[in-house]
Amino acid sequence: MSILVNKNTRLIVQGITGRDGGFHTAKMKAYGTNVVGGVSPGKGGQTVEGLPVFNTVEEAVKQTGANTSILFVPAPFAADGILEASEAGIELVIAITEGIPTLDMVRIMPYLKKKGTKLIGPNCPGLITPDEALVGILPGNIFKKGNVGLISRSGTLTYEMVNQLTTNGIGQSTCVGIGGDPVAGLYFQDLLEMYQNDPETDAVVLIGEIGGDAEEQAAAFIKNKMTKPVVAFIAGQSAPPGKRMGHAGAIISSGSGTAEEKIAAFEAAGVPVARKPEDIPVLIKRALQYG
Amino acid sequence: MSILVNKNTRLIVQGITGRDGGFHTAKMKAYGTNVVGGVSPGKGGQTVEGLPVFNTVEEAVKQTGANTSILFVPAPFAADGILEASEAGIELVIAITEGIPTLDMVRIMPYLKKKGTKLIGPNCPGLITPDEALVGILPGNIFKKGNVGLISRSGTLTYEMVNQLTTNGIGQSTCVGIGGDPVAGLYFQDLLEMYQNDPETDAVVLIGEIGGDAEEQAAAFIKNKMTKPVVAFIAGQSAPPGKRMGHAGAIISSGSGTAEEKIAAFEAAGVPVARKPEDIPVLIKRALQYG
Amino acid sequence: MKIHEYQAKEIFSRYGIPVTRETVCYTPDEVVAAAEKSGYPCVVKAQVLTGGRGKAGGVKLVKNKEEAREAATSILGMDIKGYTVEKVLLAEGVKFQSEIYVGLTIDRNSKSVILMTSREGGVEIEEVAKENPDAIIKVPIDADLGMQPFLARKIAFRLFDDFNLVKQAADIFQKMYKICLDTDASLVEINPLVITDDNQLLALDGKMNFDENALYRQPEIEKLYEPDENELKEIEAKEKGLSYIKLDGNIGFMVNGAGLAMATMDMIKMYGGEPANFLDVGGSSNPQKVIDAMNLILSDEKVNAIMINIFGGITRGDDIAKGLISALEQLDVKVPIVVRLSGTNAKEGLEILRGTNLTVVESMTEAAKKAIELSAH
Amino acid sequence: MKIHEYQAKEIFSRYGIPVTRETVCYTPDEVVAAAEKSGYPCVVKAQVLTGGRGKAGGVKLVKNKEEAREAATSILGMDIKGYTVEKVLLAEGVKFQSEIYVGLTIDRNSKSVILMTSREGGVEIEEVAKENPDAIIKVPIDADLGMQPFLARKIAFRLFDDFNLVKQAADIFQKMYKICLDTDASLVEINPLVITDDNQLLALDGKMNFDENALYRQPEIEKLYEPDENELKEIEAKEKGLSYIKLDGNIGFMVNGAGLAMATMDMIKMYGGEPANFLDVGGSSNPQKVIDAMNLILSDEKVNAIMINIFGGITRGDDIAKGLISALEQLDVKVPIVVRLSGTNAKEGLEILRGTNLTVVESMTEAAKKAIELSAH
């Protein structure tokens, strides 16, 4: 099972002829992901990494039966690319692109909802179901198949955590980087629900950060709806208010969105919060034993 | 049963403080329709015909439990009024207003669809379920409870037909004037389906006119999906091309939308077409006997 | 509401759609001057608010000054389907590889704006629709989404393989959609949109119609309105609350309701008569409206009989009858009038009318037959 | 990106939102001249890109020429939260009955623009949110629908009983929404929007923030950008692919990834250290980026130790180590550097680094403790 991506994933790469698109297409293919083609307007008929390139997503879907798309499209055109994928019937869209204007995301959200398109990102590293499908820019080699789900607003911090899990012998069902932007697709609560319903996931690691109140909502959801154990880490306890800490969404606004509030919400929901990344493997082991 | 409006209708009147709104509110109340209130921004707290007036549809719905709304709102503000009703959770909106810009209707259609709001009109006389609810500007006295459903793009021509049915002893389940505009809400096919599923309707009179191809689609629907007999009349056989015959939607464009095509479609679908309005009672009697 | 080709192309140009270089001319001298400036070959095109000018000889390619003058002289003043040509367009001659059709209009079924395009441009799209319907690409535009770049590109890829043309076409589609929304157009058409010899898209012709219901918020468009004689009459009627259309027959009509009016005309025609007009007087029994309507009908000298068909709905038949009598008393009508009244209190109304010199009947059929009979005298 | 009050109000005014009559002044003489022209009482307001100017004494009501000069002299040049006041606004004095708050911002949960409004205006909305959250009306705006007239009116009816005020407020809400979309704003705020004594709504103050990701398509807005010293450094860093924020401590950082950088800073703080900066160098092992990053860190004289925390992902740890060495060779760094490297080929990387004068450690905890220890010397 796992969630969102697996052996049944048929992936196309929007922006496959770009530098990043091409590079990561090779990486994803090498990992074993079923990449079936790419899209690049005006480059239809070419091949990249042995894959056919199409002018439109519609054409790519028709020719390859793709159900998932990953975008390496420059920010000014990315929202349009997401819409194109949605309109063409793609079920799951992963937007790697950083720097998309927030109102572009706001504008496309109702359409994605109407079409039932799931979106991961933007400004995210993507996701992976170890040994089945890598859809993103994550380093595949650090992951290991297992029973722990992971959701994170961060990139490298996620790899750091996963590396510690893997080196401690703890494998992962699926790891999802939901991205660092304020307006994004699937978020903590949506994914927690998926993990709760996934028979291959026994516990979840949630990596939050300052900004917004998604962690607080996740805490409420865990308390009310989840039976599987969750452990959390929150980055940005030392961040000053009013400054964007690298991610567009990582900002403490007028005293709300602080790490303290988030940690308190998790603790009130009975979710253990790691003081430092290195504590996560210990907490997960404990959770799996007693959870 | 009947369709769309009945004793369970709880009607509000948008534009109740206007001349037409007030006049027809009195008529509808007198007919026995369950009119529960009205809306007129800035006139909240007043009463019209003994009914409370609210500033917003939301307030009206909250206070009266309204499920249906009829609009007597000037054309420039009518689309906004329909949206307001839809957003407030009104299930059925009847727009009497004539002269709404077509693109206003085009713009609001996706929202109505998203909210599941049914719309009759605009530029229509409304509808009636005899002895239960009159929601519109139709003359209630000419209708008689019975088992014939009626759908029409016209106003007075409908009254003419109904009058002939009633004076010939043929009663009606529900009569709906769908309006004369090119972009409108529920149309022939939607209503035919409702009549087909309505146990109180045994036959249907369909009154079409030149312009568009809704009649052709209705004919196909009748042929493929309906078991109840339908008889039809098409107005505008003598209309010259390129001229709007009173209704914004009644225009023959580049040779399509002619009465001939529509009549041919019905005849091909086995639907008897009256040569003149006076033939309708005869055709319906025959249909009810043999249908 | 229609506008001229040159006006449509002025709007296109303002939005950045490439159009032919051209000049509007009102005299042969102006045409010759413009042609000399433009260089040859160039094209003289009649500007009239109707189609079919090509077949009528209203479009001519000219190769020199003499031909330009000749064409201008023959086209200016020409009658095309009842429209007199008062101005022509002198447009640059363009060499092109092929002709595309692009049109945006309102689609009743999808309840949205629809884009139609075809590689078989240059002829009327209705002809293509009949002879080779598969050659037409039709795409309804989701009103929430609008003409997104990806959608415009997707449609353009169905027309062209050359990405350079795809990009140009997608840009034009987006601009046409914006024009449509901004101006409340009911038709935005480029036919043909040509591919020039240097691989550029260029609008050779342009057509726009507008939603009359929206003119109140389109003052710039309203200014372009050039109603003809009949349309002026229709507008005048509208201002009096009447919906009037001039037709070619001899039997005048006055009916309440557009559908009933059409049905009434149809019946006349069925029995061999010829309607002189469509006239919907709407609701109410206001005598002034009847007077206005009668004056309008009688302004057509061909009318030699009048049929009045009124259905009493909320307004009762007896009130309508009184209104009719009061109106007719103020007029000196020389042609015979047949009145048919039905609906609420029709009997009482008919009783009142029987005391007058009107021919009063009870059914539409009878009314039609009687009117035809009277018009034949 | 923030702009000044007067700039926000200029935008408001361009869209037809009523704002106070006012003049921007750079000297006390200009203030006095403007005040004399405006009449008394009027208000002198510091224009700085930070909040809290009221509490800092940056806003003064003046009743005559002398008070105007006095206020101008005291406010111009004043320091408010590290910002020097270089200009002030001289605004007309307005008598009003009450103060409203209106703000449009992006809501992460509804993934839409949200309108917030409250009758308890004039104070910071966050205070109202804490003390009387029910006093705040929050309405997410469906992006497909936009701020429709009915919706604006509906919200306004929750604020006012007087229909005259409702209409004015609804109009302002619609205009603010249009401003938000047109300018890619992340905040459009009027606080207070006052009801004047003659029952008119008037924006007394205005605030706008903008989405930096959208500045590429907002050239007019970008022109208004007045970055302070730290922001200039951040922009300079961004141009080099670095995400840098100056902080107040003494331990400099270089980390790949924003989340990991935050976690690294957090750990330093947890063990009693003080971060001197946030610095995300992103992916790749490009030595130039490391050089730029080191120069940026060292431009802060307080820095007396540096911690480098790198996770080897797709770029392998040994390549990163080589890049680091190559970069550090070109620099003359006097402060101690602690390096922690983990992830792909971390061991190989650490091996390479051990041959240098860098302090190489394996865990984040160790790195943090070591950096604090070294910074204390």
pLDDT bin (cut points 50, 70, 90) of residue A39 is very high
pLDDT for the residue numbered D281 = 87
pLDDT over 80 (residue A253): no
Residues of D forming the active site: 101, 189
Distance CA C307, CA A35 (A): 75
For the segment A38-65, the average pLDDT, to the nearest whole number, is 97
- What does pLDDT average to over chain C? 92
The verdict on A106 touching C (C-beta cutoff 8 Å) is no
Task: Out of A233-247, B68-82, B230-244, D250-264, pick the least confident.
Answer: A233-247
Q: Give the chain D residue nearest B57 (alpha carbons).
A: D154
H, E, C per residue of chain C: CECCHHHHHHHHHHCCCCECCEEEECCHHHHHHHHHHHCCCEEEEECCCCCCCCCCCCEEEECCHHHHHHHHHHHCCCEECCEECCCEEEEECCCEEEEEEEEEEEECCCCEEEEEEECCCCCCHHHHHHHCHHHEEEEEECCCCCCCHHHHHHHHHHHCCCHHHHHHHHHHHHHHHHHHHHHCEEEEEEEEEEEECCCCEEECCCEEEECHHHHHHCHHHHCCCCCCHHHHHHHHHHHCCCEEEECCCCEEEEECCHHHHHHHHHHHHHCCCCECEEEECCCCCCHHHHHHHHHHHHCCCCCCEEEEEEEECCCCHHHHHHHHHHHHHCCCCCCCEEEEEEECCHHHHHHHHHCCCCEEECCHHHHHHHHHHHHCC
Distance CA D70, CA D59 (A): 12
Contacts of C313 in chain B (CB under 8 A): 138-139, 142, 156, 159
Mean pLDDT by 10-residue block, N- to C-terminus, for chain D (377 residues)?
Answer: 96 98 97 96 95 90 96 95 93 96 94 95 85 92 96 97 97 98 97 96 97 96 90 88 90 92 93 93 78 89 93 82 84 89 86 87 91 88
Q: Do C259 and B107 touch (CB under 8 A)?
A: no
Are B236 and B208 in contact, with CB atoms under 8 Å apart? no
Q: Do C364 and B106 touch (CB under 8 A)?
A: no
Q: Do B42 and D149 touch (CB under 8 A)?
A: no
Q: Which of residues 126-155 of B touch D (CB under 8 A)?
A: none
**Identity of the residue in A101, A160, A212 whose CB atom sits nearest the CB atom of D214:** A101
Q: What percent of chain A shows pLDDT beyond 90?
A: 88
Mutation to test the C interface, candidates A17, A39, A43, A55, most C Cβ within 10 Å: A55
pLDDT over 70 (residue B255): no
Q: Do D144 and B42 touch (CB under 8 A)?
A: no
pLDDT over 60 (residue C7): yes
β pairing state of B230-235 and A133-136:
unpaired
Q: Do C214 and B240 touch (CB under 8 A)?
A: no
Q: Do D145 and B83 touch (CB under 8 A)?
A: yes
pLDDT for the residue numbered B218 = 96
The verdict on D244 touching A (C-beta cutoff 8 Å) is no
Contacts of A104 in chain C (CB under 8 A): none
Nearest to C52 by CA among B116, A71, D203, B255: B255
Residues B10, B153, B247, B262: which is the catalytic one?
B247
ipTM for the assembly: 0.93
The verdict on D154 touching B (C-beta cutoff 8 Å) is yes
pLDDT for the residue numbered D168 = 98
Residues of C forming the active site: 101, 189
Q: Do A80 and C150 touch (CB under 8 A)?
A: yes
pLDDT for the residue numbered C176 = 98
pLDDT for the residue numbered B1 = 64
Distance CA B25, CA B37 (A): 9
Q: Which of residues 264-283 of D touch A (CB under 8 A)?
A: 265-270, 275, 278, 280
The residues, any chain, with a CB within 8 Å of residue D305's CB and separated by 6 or more, are D250, D251, D252, D335, D336, D337, D338, D371, D372, D374, D375
The verdict on D162 touching B (C-beta cutoff 8 Å) is no
Residues A10, A228, A247, A262: which is the catalytic one?
A247
pLDDT for the residue numbered C78 = 94
Neighbouring chains to D with at least 3 Cβ pairs closer than 8 Å: A, B
Q: Do A157 and D259 touch (CB under 8 A)?
A: yes
pLDDT over 60 (residue B291): no
Distance in Å, alpha carbon of A84 to nearest chain C alpha carbon: 6
Task: Report how many Cβ contacts below 8 Å link chain B to chain C.
Answer: 166
Which two structure tokens, joined as six digits, stand for A144?
């290991």
pLDDT bin (cut points 50, 70, 90) of residue C205 is very high
Distances from the Cα of D259 to the Cαs of A192, A210, C141, in angstroms? 20, 10, 41
Distance CA A176, CA A118 (A): 13
Q: Which of residues 50-79 of C touch B (CB under 8 A)?
A: none
pTM of the model: 0.94
Neighbouring chains to A with at least 3 Cβ pairs closer than 8 Å: C, D
Q: Do C154 and A81 touch (CB under 8 A)?
A: no
pLDDT for the residue numbered C377 = 72
pLDDT for the residue numbered A255 = 65
For the segment B233-248, the average pLDDT, to the nearest whole number, is 84
Q: Do D163 and B42 touch (CB under 8 A)?
A: yes
pLDDT for the residue numbered D3 = 96
B247 as an active site residue: the answer is: yes
**Identity of the residue in C142, C148, C154 whose CB atom sits nearest the CB atom of A56:** C154
Q: Do C143 and B217 touch (CB under 8 A)?
A: no
The verdict on D158 touching B (C-beta cutoff 8 Å) is no
pLDDT over 70 (residue B127): yes
The verdict on A165 touching C (C-beta cutoff 8 Å) is no
DSSP state of D41: S
The verdict on C245 touching B (C-beta cutoff 8 Å) is yes
Contacts of D168 in chain B (CB under 8 A): none
pLDDT over 60 (residue B141): yes
Q: Which residue has the higher pLDDT, A264 or C318?
A: A264
Task: Report how many Cβ contacts below 8 Å link chain A to chain C.
Answer: 39
The verdict on A30 touching D (C-beta cutoff 8 Å) is no
HSE-CB for D48 with a 13 A CA cutoff: 24
For the segment C223-250, the average pLDDT, to the nearest whole number, is 89
HSE-CB for C40 with a 13 A CA cutoff: 14
Are C277 and C244 in contact, with CB atoms under 8 Å apart? yes
For the segment C224-232, the average pLDDT, to the nearest whole number, is 87
Distance in Å, alpha carbon of B17 to nearest chain D alpha carbon: 15
pLDDT for the residue numbered B205 = 97
Neighbouring chains to B with at least 3 Cβ pairs closer than 8 Å: C, D
Count of other CB atoms within 10 angstroms of residue C73 = 15
